Copies of this chain bind each other. A is one copy, B any other.
Amino acid sequence: MESLLRSEIFEQPAVLRRFLKEEAANIAAISRGLSGREIRYVLIAARGTSDNAARYGQYVFGAFNRLTVALAAPSLFSIYQSAPELRGALVIGISQSGQSPDIVSVVDEARRQMVPAIAITNDPTSPLAAAAEFTIDLRAGTEGSIAATKTYTAELAAMALLSQGLSRRAAAANPLDEVAGWMERALESEPAARAAAEGLADINRCVLLGRGFNLSTTFEIALKTKELAYVAAEPYSSADFQHGPLAIVEDGFPVFLVAAGEKMRRELNALRTDLKERKARVISLDDDGTAGGPTPNWRIPIPAGIPEWLSPLVAIIPGQLWAYYLAKARGIDPDNPRTIRKVTLTR
């Protein structure tokens, strides 16, 4: 029987095409609706996979809209009941299900304080959508797997489009239109992702390193690795990693480098050299097979030439496949991970 998770991973190019086709006009309208509103910064509330999409928002809104993005501490709103003053904020709640009370509480507070709030959700009838002034519908179809995949890339696309709309960057030839094709080519890296997973089937811990736009990818691959393969996989900004945690790298320690994009290449190549000197086992997920420095133990390629700001929509895909095959290599059924629920109702 075909795996539901794997089939949802492979659905992503089609989901993206549908999202761009059916939701672009709504996002353009939301962007127009926001013009004239005072927006000094963005406050995003999200958990789990959606929180990793929020990390992408930090870079896309920062780089293209010159907006600082704060990630909400939901407990300030729900448990401590001392919500910040939100004047000047654009609030965005991201949740596949739209159910989590703590995320809804942040959007509720935005409405109470009369600042604009956008729900990004796969369920436009959810409490989150009901609470928000504007809703972006992910239109990903039912996500049957416990592990989120297609809703994640749809969430990234939602933020990319919103960023374009807010900055009025939308051009006649939209670079987002090319992403689905790159995703299809990235799916062709399935054998490479599988080989890396099978080569590391014995691990019980690893770290994942990336920076900038692909910090989101780094965190999301780590989350999939934990959810599906039960490996203690910790993600870091490659800069933060050098401020202390580097100490844990010893002979054979598994390190997964996410090195897509021009700007971070030099830094991540230097880090790969350093890691190899420490005898780490290195996986490199990258768009530059010809890069200098020592050869990684495994390489998982994505197409070259993707603009860095769009590469997270593509780079995650072989990362999802890596986690899928790591689970299988460890004797775990990735369609039935233990203990986690699709909808988690944290306060």
User: A residues near B, CB below 8 A?
Assistant: 40-41, 43, 47-49, 51, 58-59, 62-64, 66-76, 79-80, 82-89, 102, 147, 204-207, 211-212, 215, 223, 226-228, 230-232, 234, 239-240, 242-250, 263-264, 267, 278, 337-340, 344, 346-347
Contacts and interface: CB of A to CB of B under 8 A. Distances in A.
B347 A239 contact: yes
A82 B308 CA distance: 14
Given A70-B70, A79-B264, A243-B340, 14 more contacts: A41-B41, A41-B68, A47-B239, A49-B243, A51-B240, A62-B76, A67-B84, A67-B85, A74-B239, A75-B263, A88-B88, A204-B205, A226-B245, A234-B234
A244 B51 CA distance: 12
Contacts of A66: 82-85
Contacts of A207: 232
A79 B49 CA distance: 26
- Which one of A102, A226, A232, A278 has the greatest number of beta carbons of chain B within 10 Å? A232
A62 B76 CA distance: 7
A339 B247 contact: yes
Contact of A340 (B79, B102, B247): B247
B68 A43 contact: yes
A257 to B, nearest CB: 16
Nearest to A48: B243
A278 B338 CA distance: 11
A230 to B, nearest CB: 5
A128 B344 CA distance: 42
A115 B72 CA distance: 23
Contacts of A234: 232, 234
A205 B227 contact: no
- Which one of A41, A51, A267, A340 has the greatest number of beta carbons of chain B within 10 Å? A41
A218 B248 CA distance: 18
Nearest to A55: B73
A250 B267 contact: no
A154 to B, nearest CB: 18
Contacts of A48: 240, 243-244
- Which one of A58, A67, A207 has the greatest number of beta carbons of chain B within 10 Å? A58
Contacts of A267: 79, 347
A49 to B, nearest CB: 7
18 contacts: A41-B41, A41-B68, A48-B243, A59-B76, A59-B80, A67-B84, A69-B70, A73-B215, A75-B212, A75-B264, A79-B264, A88-B88, A226-B245, A228-B247, A230-B247, A234-B234, A246-B339, A246-B340
Given A59-B76, A338-B247, A340-B244, A87 B40 contact: yes
A48 to B, nearest CB: 3
Ranked nearest first, the 4 interchain pairs of A and B with the lowest CB-CB distance are A48-B243, A70-B70, A239-B346, A40-B88
A210 B40 CA distance: 31
Contacts of A240: 47-48, 51
Nearest to A264: B79
A73 B69 CA distance: 9
Nearest to A67: B84
A80 B244 CA distance: 24
Contacts of A76: 59, 62-63
